[in-house]
Amino acid sequence: MNSIEVLNRAADNIRILAASAVEKAKSGHPGGAMGGADFINVLYSEFLVFDPKNPRWEGRDRMFLDPGHMSPMLYSVLACTGKYSMEELAQFRQWDSPTPGHPEVDIMRGVENTSGPLGQGHTYAVGAAIAAKFLKARFGEVMSQTIYAYISDGGVQEEISQGAGRLAGHLGLNNLVMFYDSNDIQLSTETKDVTTENTAAKYLSWGWKIIEIDGNNAEQIRAALVEAKAETAKPTLIIGKTIMGKGARKADGSSFENQCATHGMPLSECGASYAESIKVLGGDPENAFVLFEETKALYAKRAAELETIVAAKYAAKAAWAKANPELAAKLETFFSGKAPQVNWDAVVQKPGQATRAASATVLAELAKQVENMVVSSADLSNSDKTDGFLKNTKAFTKDDFSGAFLQAGVAELTMACVCIGMSLHGGVISACATFFVFSDYMKPAVRMAALMEVPVKFIWTHDAFRVGEDGPTHEPVEQEAQIRLMEKLKNHKGHNSMLVLRPADVEECTVNWRMAMENTSTPTALILSRQNIVDLPSANGRKVDAVQAEKGGYIVECDGNPDVILVASGSEVSTLNEGAALLRADGVKIRLVSVPSEGLFRSQSAAYQESVLPKNAKIFGLTAGLPVNLLGLVGANGKIWGLESFGFSAPYKVLDEKLGFNGKNVYEQVKKML
């Protein structure tokens, strides 16, 4: 066993590196990192199981950081394991360095998740723990890793912790161990100024095991981790009382610990003395980016231990694979990250349905064909029609993860982050559903999914005011514009950060679902109608013609040299088609265009775009959302009929009439325009 002296020396080393990275960058957060160093050091030097040579090994333990501002702590401990050099730590927060201000997912360097928006990081861990349970139910002991999470006061205060805590306790995620860095200090105040909750009692009531320790005491940390790992029925919360800015000193050598000021400023700027603090911690302020001999020895010893541990795990896996070749092949397929093989011909759509119903038809097939897909709903499965999937599997329970459905409860942001966590864990394809209007509750997670490039599928139904009687609270208007902004935003690979699809009828829905399943590099949204939609006209049958939706936008029908182009997405395409019949009776020649994804359409060749929507054409657009949805498609010569206010409570056919979403109004508006 490592001596406590050695562990404390290595923790001080991590404190020095973290504080020095911030000092050099002239910005960052030293205080929390210095307080959390003891836990992170014990975790990485004695507990976390990973393969230093193969960071992607699916059987590794995972550590999800919630407070991204403690990045210097994470980079420093990973430097002890050889994943970052001293030079890279010294480049903290600089252009093109691998040490950005807040951690950005980088599996090869041991960073399991991007973190920064407090609360999301530990919820990914809950998702990863669920994915691990799902996989263990299928593959047994080869998938028996522990998921660690590190949370701080901010994460505990964020509302999402309620959902994460409830779900983890309810599902008895004993493979989840969360350390709460409880230093009683946050960004602008002490915690006592904003909360009087009994956090231990709160998590206890959710079904967690609670261990309370001195979070700067290596012996207590070790004992707590041993106890947590032995727990067989519950997730564990280790509440570690820590000292903010542990080791910080003023110029006169007196303590500068437990100061709010160390939260987000270099030591030299917040009232402490950088040099004095580094000296007290046993370092050299003139040459601070150094690993002590003791630290090197500690982590070399751990590396050797890991070699033995991992070799044994690989040997056990090899024996298992020999005895279970089919399962072993399946495990490999699950973790390949490749799109699953799906026989799409098995999807048989009934005409004239709502696209949410068409989605249910697809999901029923996916439940049968895609063995590693997990679908979740925030208590709306019978409305958002994920029940198409659920009817072919069963929901997870504490003792049974053989199903593939997660009843998330009414917690949309939690659900979204749990799905992201499953995806980050790997081995699982995750999808989650709710009403489109409540995508507002999920947007912060959508943004992170897009930034991390995880292929979560977001299913949003009840896509417009045609929710009807429920009224404006339930009627999305501006939501499509918001989500489509993610199509305009590029990820760091230079691709649209998200694929947003709003199918026009049942067959387009199947095609869009195929595109979602084949999109393994960004999140995808499917925006679906509540009400039935008349199928679009088609020369070759919709099943054939709808395949053109792969280009993001396409011509549904065209009368020779058209007088006007009618463009929309979703159910409004069908409404345009009603108007087209009236216009044709007047001798007007029409082109009908469906654009399920403007972002994807604008990624096509200029020639293709021009062939569908010529720049000088007269274009009329119809959207049940804000007119801006179609501005980029309709152009200056055109006209858009949209909704510019909140919706209203009334039967949807009445709303269609009152708000002008019918063939007659399309006819009138286009006639005025021509």
Name the residues annotated as catalytic.
412
Encode burial over 448-480: b for 16+ CB neighbours within 10 A, e otherwise.
Answer: bbbbbbbbbbbbbbbbbbbbbebeeebbbbbbb
Q: Are residues 664 and 622 in contact, defined by beta-carbon separation less than 8 angstroms?
A: no
3-state secondary structure of 195: coil
Smallest separation (angstroms) from ligand TPP to the CB of 212: 17
Binding residue for ligand TPP, selected from 103, 121, 154, 427, defined by CB under 6 A: 154
Spell out, one character per residue from 43 to 82, where the chain touches ligand TPP: x when CB under 6 A holds, - when not.
------------------------x-x-------------
Binding partner of residue 69 among ligand TPP, Mg ion, none, CB cut-off 5 to 8 Å per kind:
ligand TPP
DSSP structural state of residue 471: -
Half-sphere exposure of 404 (CA within 13 A, CB side): 27
Determine if 153 is a binding residue for Mg ion (CB under 5 A): yes
Binding residue for ligand TPP, selected from 2, 13, 186, 577, defined by CB under 6 A: 186
Binding partner of residue 647 among ligand TPP, Mg ion, none, CB cut-off 5 to 8 Å per kind:
none
Q: Are residues 175 and 236 in contact, defined by beta-carbon separation less than 8 angstroms?
A: no
Of residues 181 and 545, the one with the C-beta less far from ligand TPP: 181
Residues 80-119 that bind Mg ion (CB under 5 A): none
Report how far apart, in Å, the C-alpha atoms of 112 and of each of 64, 107, 295, 427 are. Answer: 6, 6, 23, 14
Smallest separation (angstroms) from ligand TPP to the CB of 102: 8
SS (H, E, C) 153-188: HHHHHCCHHHHHHHHHHHCCCCCEEEEEEECCECCC
Binding residue for ligand TPP, selected from 112, 153, 475, 480, defined by CB under 6 A: 153
DSSP structural state of residue 395: B
Binding partner of residue 109 among Mg ion, ligand TPP, none, CB cut-off 5 to 8 Å per kind:
none
Determine if 152 is a binding residue for ligand TPP (CB under 6 A): yes
Smallest separation (angstroms) from ligand TPP to the CB of 322: 48
Q: How many Å apart are CA 452 and CA 534, to the nearest integer?
A: 38
User: Measured at CB, which residue is nearest to Mg ion?
Assistant: 153
**Binding window for ligand TPP (CB under 6 A); candidates: 152-160, 165-173, 409-417, 556-564:** 152-160
Report how far apart, in Å, the C-alpha atoms of 314 and of each of 135, 137, 308 are. Answer: 17, 19, 10
Residue 357 dihedral angles phi and psi, to the nearest 5°: -70, -40
Binding partner of residue 581 among ligand TPP, Mg ion, none, CB cut-off 5 to 8 Å per kind:
none
Q: Applying CB under 6 A, what is the total number of residues that bind ligand TPP?
A: 17
Of residues 181 and 480, the one with the C-beta less far from Mg ion: 181
Q: Are residues 460 and 530 in contact, defined by beta-carbon separation less than 8 angstroms?
A: no
* Whole-angstrom Cα Rg for the chain: 28
Of residues 117 and 247, the one with the C-beta less far from ligand TPP: 117
Spell out, one character per residue from 98 to 117, where the chain touches ligand TPP: x when CB under 6 A holds, - when not.
------------------xx
Determine if 258 is a binding residue for Mg ion (CB under 5 A): no
Binding partner of residue 361 among ligand TPP, Mg ion, none, CB cut-off 5 to 8 Å per kind:
none
Block residue for tokens 């182009």? 565
Binding partner of residue 467 among Mg ion, ligand TPP, none, CB cut-off 5 to 8 Å per kind:
none
Binding partner of residue 187 among Mg ion, ligand TPP, none, CB cut-off 5 to 8 Å per kind:
ligand TPP
Which residues are bridge partners to 414 per DSSP? Answer: none
Encode burial over 588-605: b for 16+ CB neighbours within 10 A, e otherwise.
Answer: bebbbbbbbbbbbbbbbe
**Binding window for ligand TPP (CB under 6 A); candidates: 146-154, 301-309, 340-348, 389-397:** 146-154
The β-bridge relationship of strands 590-594 and 554-558 is: antiparallel
Smallest separation (angstroms) from ligand TPP to the CB of 239: 13
**Binding window for ligand TPP (CB under 6 A); candidates: 148-156, 415-423, 565-573, 656-664:** 148-156
Between 412-425 and 120-139, two packed helices, what is the crossing angle to 10 degrees? Answer: 50
Of residues 198 and 637, the one with the C-beta less far from Mg ion: 198
Binding residue for ligand TPP, selected from 263, 302, 447, 462, defined by CB under 6 A: 263
Of residues 32 and 207, the one with the C-beta less far from Mg ion: 32
Q: Applying CB under 5 A, what is the total number of residues that bind Mg ion?
A: 5
**Binding window for Mg ion (CB under 5 A); candidates: 36-44, 118-126, 148-156, 493-501:** 148-156
Among 169, 173, 170, 184, which residue's Cα sits nearest to residue 148?
Answer: 173
Binding partner of residue 67 among ligand TPP, Mg ion, none, CB cut-off 5 to 8 Å per kind:
ligand TPP
Q: How many Å apart are CA 161 and CA 605, to the nearest integer?
A: 45
Q: How many Å apart are CA 431 and CA 374, to the nearest integer?
A: 6
Among 328, 298, 146, 275, which residue's Cα sits nearest to residue 218?
Answer: 298
**Binding window for Mg ion (CB under 5 A); candidates: 74-82, 186-194, 254-262, 597-605:** 186-194
**Binding window for ligand TPP (CB under 6 A); candidates: 9-17, 27-35, 266-274, 297-305:** 27-35
Of residues 244 and 265, the one with the C-beta less far from ligand TPP: 244
The β-bridge relationship of strands 236-241 and 554-558 is: unpaired
Label residue 79 exposed, middle or buried (CB < 10 Å: 0-12, 13-18, 19+): buried
Encode burial over 108-123: b for 16+ CB neighbours within 10 A, e otherwise.
Answer: ebbbbbbbbbbbbbbb
Block residue for tokens 């942001």? 413
Of residues 185 and 501, the one with the C-beta less far from ligand TPP: 185
Binding residue for Mg ion, selected from 145, 183, 529, 575, defined by CB under 5 A: 183
Token readout for 46 is: 């004695």
Of residues 154 and 169, the one with the C-beta less far from ligand TPP: 154
**Binding window for Mg ion (CB under 5 A); candidates: 144-152, 432-440, 496-504, 575-583:** 144-152
Of residues 37 and 567, the one with the C-beta less far from Mg ion: 37
Smallest separation (angstroms) from ligand TPP to the CB of 263: 4
Among 407, 481, 417, which residue's Cα sits nearest to residue 444?
Answer: 417
Residue 616 dihedral angles phi and psi, to the nearest 5°: -95, 10
Binding residue for ligand TPP, selected from 28, 30, 31, 59, defined by CB under 6 A: 31
Of residues 185 and 456, the one with the C-beta less far from Mg ion: 185
Smallest separation (angstroms) from ligand TPP to the CB of 244: 6
Of residues 186 and 529, the one with the C-beta less far from Mg ion: 186
* Length of the chain measured in residues: 674
Q: Where on the chain is the footprint of Mg ion (CB under 5 A)?
A: 152-153, 183, 185-186
Q: Where on the chain is the footprint of ligand TPP (CB under 6 A)?
A: 29, 31-32, 67, 69, 116-118, 152-154, 183, 185-187, 244, 263
